Amino acid sequence: MAGLLKKQLKEAVKVIGAGSFLFASYLTAVGDERFYANQLMPLMQKIVGAETAHVLAVKLISLGIVPVSRYQDPASLEIKAFGLKFKNPVGIAAGFDKHGEAIDGLYKMGFGFVEVGTITPKPQEGNPKPRVFRLAADQAVINRYGFNSCGLAEVHQRLKAREARQLSQEGHPLGINLGKNKLSQDARADYTEGLRVLGPLADYLVINVSSPNTPGLRDLQGKTELRKLLHTVLEERNALPVEHKPPVLVKIAPDLTIRDKQDIAEVVTELGVDGLMVSNTTVSRPETLQDPQRSETGGLSGQPLKELSTQTVREMYKLTKGKVTIVGIGGVASGQDAMDKIRAGASLVQLYTSLTYQGPPVVTKIKRELEQLLKEQGFHSVSEAVGADHRDSNTPT
Q: How far apart are the first and last CA of the chain?
A: 78
pLDDT for res 164: 63
HEC string for 166-200: CCHHHCCCEEEEECCCCCCCCHHHHHHHHHHHHHH
pLDDT for res 15: 39
Exposed, middle or buried by CB within 10 Å (0-12, 13-18, 19+), for 228?
middle
Cβ 173 vs Cβ 327: under 8 Å: no
pLDDT for res 14: 44
Burial 11-41 (b: 16+ CB within 10 A, else e): eeeeeeeeeeeeeeeebbeebbbebbbeebb
Backbone angles phi, psi at 171, to 5 degrees: 85, 25
Alpha carbon of 81 to those of 30, 176, 303: distances in Å? Answer: 31, 16, 26
pLDDT for res 4: 54
pLDDT digits (tens, 9 = 90+) for 1-10: 555 555 544 5
Backbone angles phi, psi at 207, to 5 degrees: -95, 110
Exposed, middle or buried by CB within 10 Å (0-12, 13-18, 19+), for 1?
exposed
pLDDT for res 167: 59
pLDDT for res 17: 38
Low-confidence ranges of the chain (pLDDT < 50): 8-9, 12-30, 395-397
Q: Report CA Rg, the chain.
A: 22
Apex 117 CA angle, 257 and 349, nearest 5? 60
DSSP assignment of 109-156: TT-SEEEEEEE-SS-B--SPSP-EEEEGGGTEEEE-----B--HHHHH
Cβ 68 vs Cβ 29: under 8 Å: yes
pLDDT digits (tens, 9 = 90+) for 352-385: 999 999 999 999 999 999 999 999 999 999 999 9
Q: Using a cut of 0.95, tell me whether the model's pTM lies above it.
A: no
Apex 212 CA angle, 229 and 130, nearest 5? 135
Looking at the DSSP assignment, which residues form a beta bridge with residue 135?
Answer: 140
Q: Which residues are catalytic?
A: 211
